[in-house]
Amino acid sequence: MDIEKFGVYLVNFYKSTGGELSGKHYAIAITDFNKEHKTFVAVPITSKKSGKKYRGGFTIYCNKYQENPSKEKAFAMVSKIREVSIHRVYGDMIYKLDYEDIEKLKKSVYKVFDFLN
């Protein structure tokens, strides 16, 4: 399997502890696939629930990428960034972020990790 940068994949974040994200979630690959370690760095995505405040990421409008999304909006949780093994990925790439969302992702990474500025 090949992992493409800015591609979205279904990932199993099972076996997490504390406030870590767990279960199956879509995730954005933000690095190239490391063939030696069989890993890549990913930003998890969660569906956006109305009335809930989200921080540390950016909003994705699902109908840009899916015909009949279960939710209108999703949230890329940049603050929950983590390394992912290829063995946690289900199937092929679901879709690839467009230019606008790639730029939102980059800005969000700089904002969350402001020590990089």
CATH code of 7-116, in short, is 2.30.30.110
pLDDT in tens, 47-94: 887 778 888 899 999 999 999 988 899 999 999 999 999 999 999 999
Q: Are 82 and 41 in contact (CB under 8 A)?
A: yes
> Tokens representing 28?
């954005």
Residue-level pLDDT at 42:
97
> Tokens representing 49?
């629930």
Residue 117: pLDDT above 60? no
Where do the domains of the chain lie?
7-116
Residue-level pLDDT at 116:
58
Reported pTM: 0.90
Residue-level pLDDT at 7:
97
Residue-level pLDDT at 25:
93
Q: Are 8 and 94 in contact (CB under 8 A)?
A: yes
